Chain A
């Protein structure tokens, strides 16, 4: 989409130029026509004066010099005449050596070029009958000064018109920018929304924007609400399925079945598979992903509670610590991130001897989450297998956990990269690189391959 500002300017300019030019041209043309009519009256008067000056003299018809205007005597004075008889024609003395062409028919004609001085003439030809012969009198007047003043007028008009156009454009730009400022504000707020700095748009907006803002706010609330509802429903579903599973698992290891060890083992294995699949899929379904723009994870607020929980579960012998810049906030859903970090740390705690470390750092384009332990680690040759077999490694280690499988799911949804490295502490280091800007997931490196265990 092109900018509204440019579109408005373009429309306004074209309309103004067209209207301005048409208006100016029409008024000039009308004015000129009026002026010519006025001059025509003068010329007709001159012609009639000449007719009157024709007198019958001793040598036939002659012109009474007394009655002629002196302007006809002065060469190139700007006033000329030509009188045509049947066989001869007379010219005024002011024509000097030039010929005033005879118009083909009676009437007025402008723009006649004459002589070395390049005068523009307005010529009127009138036909009369006198002394028994037809006489055609042409009178001409220099039109150049009028033309000159017209040109000057047009130039001044052009300059004035351009100046007006410029002024209008500047004013229009200011007005439009002023009028569009609420749009700019809304755009900024949406950017803040994306960064998780606010959860709703400001509703104090002009009338035209109100429906848009209201709709966005409604959508946000709706998304949050439906996420909450679907999480709740998933929780209920999980509860409804897991409790009977717990009964079955308990029954499978009951005394009665101890007499049939193979049957008991079969039941337990199958139930375990159901349980793992159920947990993985339910957890995957719970992920908010990137649906909620206002979500934020406050490290200082959430991490101590998470570490306390892990300490309680795994016992006091582990030293759990985290390192994050004060006030660091991660732009992802709280529950998703807790799930990610919880599983990673839980996995590390299962393996660690005494030390588990979490560090969260922010670089220009990424957030780096690193979880390290001082356990046995994974040899480099086997690290690839962890990924190629999805969550299998974790399933082999601990029949009750899900660990890396869910971590992989979450990182995948966020477009991040998961790496296994050797830790300085001696054990495994799980490094997760998450792209900063959401919606820019594409440049976040090689995404984790999709794989369902």
Chain B
């Protein structure tokens, strides 16, 4: 999952980046509203966390420009201005959720999780479910038929993406774009290695390889 964090307060952004990366998200950080308008539209983000008090361009204006350009990425507004009048304005501008500062990091993580599931049409349950697997995002492990299977951080990130996009053909470059932030070197061989690890832990049939097209998760075994 690749996130864009738009926040002008550096210490807060540092804290949030660290927390989000621990949760297995690839995060890009911007501090200026004008940059955010451009980058939000050009990069394939899965979710955007937007502060409203931004230098360059106010957050609501940034959001309005994204929505005017038909950008459908879910946006979570993060702001100290938490009166109901302002919340309504934020949601009218096209936000999907609203979190008032200060907040507990866990609350932000839960909101992001819920928002991601909602945008992929999944019900908001304690675990993420697909193809008979239950992914516990808090503990970063997977449950199958009551057995708990431990995952490495990289495997968890990959499996979560697959489980949010079940039965879809995902190319290697698409996966790389959504699993790594803008500054990481993308090596498709690393992806292959992680896919193989997942197959070893969860069974070969879980991830199907479509030659020349990419991977497909959760396809019913032929």
Near A by CB (< 8 A), chain B positions 1-57 give 9, 11-12, 15-16, 18-19, 22, 53
The reply to whether B22 and A343 form a contact with Cβ atoms under 8 Å apart is no
* B87, closest chain A residue (CB): A309
Among the stretches B92-100, B127-135, B185-193, B205-213, the one at the interface with A is: B92-100
- A221-260 CB mask vs B (1 if < 8 Å, else 0) is 0000000000000010011111111111111011100000
The reply to whether B12 and A246 form a contact with Cβ atoms under 8 Å apart is yes
B15 CB → nearest A CB, Å: 4
Among the stretches B103-111, B138-146, B173-181, the one at the interface with A is: B103-111
One of B11, B19, B53 near A239 (C-beta < 8 A): B53
The verdict on A286 contacting B83 (CB below 8 Å), with A243-B9, A313-B97 known, is: yes
The reply to whether A315 and B124 form a contact with Cβ atoms under 8 Å apart is yes
Q: Total interface residues on B, using CB and 8 Å? A: 32
Size class of the A contact interface (CB-based, 8 Å): 35 or more
Among the stretches A75-83, A332-340, A432-440, A442-450, the one at the interface with B is: A332-340
Residue picked from A245, A246, A305, most chain B C-beta under 10 Å: A246
* A340, closest chain B residue (CB): B84
Q: Does B68 interact with chain A (Cβ within 8 Å)?
A: no
The reply to whether B105 and A250 form a contact with Cβ atoms under 8 Å apart is yes
* B19, closest chain A residue (CB): A250
List residues of chain A with CB within 8 A of the CB of B199: none
**What is the bound-complex CA distance between A338 and B80, given in angstroms?**
17
**What is the bound-complex CA distance between A255 and B105, given in angstroms?**
12
One of A238, A254, A305 near B18 (C-beta < 8 A): A254
- A335-361 CB mask vs B (1 if < 8 Å, else 0) is 100110111000000000000000000
Main secondary structure of the interface of A (DSSP, over half): helix
- B48-72 CB mask vs A (1 if < 8 Å, else 0) is 0000010000000000000000000
Please count the residue pairs between chain A and chain B whose beta carbons lie under 8 angstroms apart in the complex: 96
Q: Does B204 interact with chain A (Cβ within 8 Å)?
A: no
Q: Does A283 interact with chain B (Cβ within 8 Å)?
A: yes
The reply to whether B102 and A339 form a contact with Cβ atoms under 8 Å apart is no
**What is the bound-complex CA distance between A440 and B81, given in angstroms?**
33
List residues of chain A with CB within 8 A of the CB of B222: none
**What is the bound-complex CA distance between A241 and B87, given in angstroms?**
19
**What is the bound-complex CA distance between A253 and B103, given in angstroms?**
11
The reply to whether A246 and B102 form a contact with Cβ atoms under 8 Å apart is yes
* A341, closest chain B residue (CB): B84
**What is the bound-complex CA distance between A238 and B100, given in angstroms?**
11
Q: Does A312 interact with chain B (Cβ within 8 Å)?
A: yes
The reply to whether A306 and B88 form a contact with Cβ atoms under 8 Å apart is yes
**What is the bound-complex CA distance between A309 and B19, given in angstroms?**
27
List residues of chain A with CB within 8 A of the CB of B101: 239, 242-243, 245-246
The reply to whether B83 and A338 form a contact with Cβ atoms under 8 Å apart is yes
**What is the bound-complex CA distance between A355 and B200, given in angstroms?**
47
**What is the bound-complex CA distance between A244 and B9, given in angstroms?**
9
One of B12, B88, B104 near A338 (C-beta < 8 A): B88
One of A241, A243, A334 near B12 (C-beta < 8 A): A243
Q: Does A308 interact with chain B (Cβ within 8 Å)?
A: yes
Q: Does A275 interact with chain B (Cβ within 8 Å)?
A: yes
List residues of chain A with CB within 8 A of the CB of B87: 309, 342
The verdict on A309 contacting B91 (CB below 8 Å), with A243-B9, A249-B104, A253-B105 known, is: yes
The reply to whether B103 and A246 form a contact with Cβ atoms under 8 Å apart is yes
A323 CB → nearest B CB, Å: 20
The reply to whether A312 and B97 form a contact with Cβ atoms under 8 Å apart is yes
Which residues of A line the B interface, CB within 8 A?
235, 238-251, 253-255, 268, 271, 275, 279, 283, 286, 305-306, 308-309, 312-313, 315, 334-335, 338-339, 341-343, 399-400
Q: Can you sample 11 A-B contacts with CB below 8 Å?
A: A239-B53, A242-B100, A242-B102, A245-B102, A247-B12, A253-B105, A254-B15, A286-B83, A308-B91, A338-B88, A399-B104
